[in-house]
Structure 1
Amino acid sequence: MPAPTPAGRSAVRGVILDFYGTLVRLVEPLPPSHRSLFLRRGLAEAADRWGDQWAVGPREGEEHAAHSVSQQTYHDWELDRLRRRALSCGVPASEAGPLAVELDRAMKDLRLAPFGDVPAALAGLRARGLTVAVCSNWYWDLEGALADVGLAGLVDVVVTSARAGARKPHPLIYRTVLERCGLRPEQALFVGDMWEPDVAGPLALGMRAVHLWRPDRAVVGTAPPLPDGAARIPSLAALSALL
C-alpha cells in the first residue's frame, strides 16, 4: 500500500510517467535525417528552409481534438501538416505528398530502449498497489512502443497526445489520463524529464510532480528552482523514497 501522507494531503494512489526521456531513450541505428530525405530528391534549398526535423509536429500545449477522432483522421492530419509545410518550403506540389509520407515514416522509425532503472521502478510502484500510467506527447500507437521495449506489462493506463486531442501542457491531456486512472489530481504524482509538460503543467492542474534530472539527460541547461509540490530525482530508482 502507499506510504502514509502528511495531514491535509491525499495519499498518492497513482503515478503518471512521461515516456521519451523518462522511460526510454533513443539508440542506434538512428532514423535518417530529414535533410537526407530532401537531398535524395535534389531539394537542397527546401531542406535549408525546413530546418530542425524535431520541430515539425504540433506545438507544445496545442489542442487538436478535431483531428483526434480516429487513428485514420489523425494520420491524415499528420501527413497534410507535413505536406503543407513542405510546400511552404518550396517543395514542388508533385513531390510534396510523397515526401510527406517519407518524413512521417522516418519520424516514427525510432529505435528505443528503456533506461536501466525503469523495469524495477515500475514493478515497485505496482507492488505498492499504485496505478501506473504513461502520458506522453506521442503518436497514436504508444502501446506498441511500450511492448517493443518490454514495458507493456508494467503499465496500467496509456494516454497519448494523439488520442487525447492535445499536447502537454494542455490541461485536456492531464484530465484524460486522470479520468482513465480514476484519480483526482491530488491523488496523482506526475514524473518526467521536461519542465513545462511534466512539472509545471501537472502542478497547475493540482497534481504533485517529480522532475527527473538524469545525469545523462538529453535536456541541456540548468534545472529550474523547485516550486511547492515538486521534487527532483536523478533516477527512477529514487522515486520510491518519495512515496
Structure 2
Amino acid sequence: MPTAGPVGIRAVVFDFYGTLARMVEPLPPDHRPIFDRRGLSAQGARWGDQWTVGPAEGEEHADHSVSELDYHRWELGRLRRRARDCGVPDGELEGLVEEIDRAMKAVRLELFEDTLPVLGELRARGLLLGICSNWFWNLEDCLREVGLDGSVDVVVGSARAGARKPHPLIYRTLLERCRLPPEQVLFVGDMWAPDVLGPLTAGMRSVHLSRPDPAVLGSEPPLVDGAARIRGLGELLTLVASGAAAGPADCG
C-alpha cells in the first residue's frame, strides 16, 4: 500500500492522450482517399469528421467489452451502419469499414517532455500511479510503445472497462483497481468533463491540465471546488506537495 501523501492523497491517476502523450506525424490517414479509391467520393463527403465515428463521451458499452473479439465486432458494426447510412453499397461495406478501422488506429504517439520526470518523482514519493483513458482495446500496447510500461501501477481503458469517461462505470473500475477510497485519489487530465467533472462526481479530486500547446483543444471553464489547474505536469509536483489540490487553485 502506498504511503499517504499531503492532504491524504495516496494515488495520482492520469488521462493518457493529451495529458501524457500526443500524436505526431505521420498522422492517421484521412478517410476521404479511402472512399475516393473505391469510387465512393459522394459517400465520403457525407461521412463527416473521421474522429466522430467512435463511441461518444460517457457512452456505456459493457455488453460489447467482454472480449477483444466482441469489442472489435462492435467497432466494425458501428462503422458499417454509418457507411450504409452514407449510401455505401453492401458490396463495398466490409472492405471499406475494415480499412477505415485500421486507418483510425494508425496512431503514432510520443510522450510530452515532462511526462517521465513527473511520473518518476511521484513514484519516488511513494504514490500509486494510474492511467485512465478513453481508448481502443490496445491501450496497454500503446503504453509500451511510448515507454510507459512499468511506469504506472493501474491501467484502465474504456474499451475494456465497458464505458467511456465521464460515465460512472469507468471511475468505479478505476477505484476498485486502486483499492483506495475516492478522496485519496487525484485525477489529472486535459479534458474538462471526462477528467475534471467526472472524477469529482465520483468523489475524487481533480487537476485540469491546460497546456500552452494542447494535443486536443478543450474548454477552460472556471474552477470548481475540489479542482485545480496547471499549465504543465511539472506544476503538479508543487501542487501535490503543498496540498493545494484540496481546493480551487490556478498555478498558471
TM range (shorter): over 0.9
Query: Could you give the per-residue CA deviations for residues 4-43 of structure 1, whole angstroms, max 9, x where no partner exists?
Result: 32xxxxx011111001000100001111101121111111
Shift in CA distance, 79/70, structure 1 to aligned 2, threshold 3 Å? same
Question: Alpha-carbon deviations, 1:170-206, whole Å to 9, x = none?
Answer: 0000010110111111110000000000001001111
Q: Give the aligned partner of residue 198 of structure 1.
A: 195
Aligned pairs for 1:122-201 within 5 A: 122-201=119-198
Question: 1:154 aligns to what SS in structure 2?
Answer: coil
**Whole-Å Cα distance in 2 between the matches of residues 70 and 221 of structure 1?**
32
Residue 87 (str. 1) matches residue 87 (str. 2): no
CA offsets, 1:143-167, max 9 Å, x none? 1101000111211111111000000
For residue 80 of structure 2, give the secondary structure of its aligned residue in structure 1. Answer: helix
- 2:6 alignment partner, one of 4, 7, 11: 4
Picking from 200, 206, 210, the partner of 1:209 is: 206
| Alignment counterpart, residue 68 of structure 2, candidates 68, 71, 74 | 71
Residue matched to 2:41 = 44
Q: In structure 2, the residue corresponding to 1:228 is in which secondary structure?
A: coil
Equivalences, count: 238
Partner of 2:115 in structure 1?
A: 118
Q: Which amino acid aligns with 1:237?
A: G
CA shift, 1:222, in A, is 5.1
SS in 2 for 1:16: strand
**What amino acid sits opposite 1:167 in the alignment?**
R
- Alignment-mate amino acid for residue 115 of structure 1: F
Alpha-carbon distance, 1:221 to partner: 6.1
Q: Distance in 1 between matches of 2:183 and 2:157?
A: 21
Counterpart-to-counterpart distance in 1, 2:66 and 2:87: 31
RMSD across aligned positions (CA): 1.1
Contact map agreement 1:46 1:89 (CA 8 A) in 2: yes
What TM-score, normalized to structure 2?
A: 0.92
Q: Which amino acid aligns with 2:97?
A: A
Q: How far is 1:223 from its partner?
A: 1.2
Secondary structure, aligned partner of 2:224: coil
Q: Return the alpha-carbon distance in structure 1 between the equivalents of residues 60 and 218 of structure 2.
A: 28
Note the C-alpha offset of 1:122. 0.8
Gaps of 5+ in 1: 6-10
Unaligned 5+ segments in structure 2 are 241-252
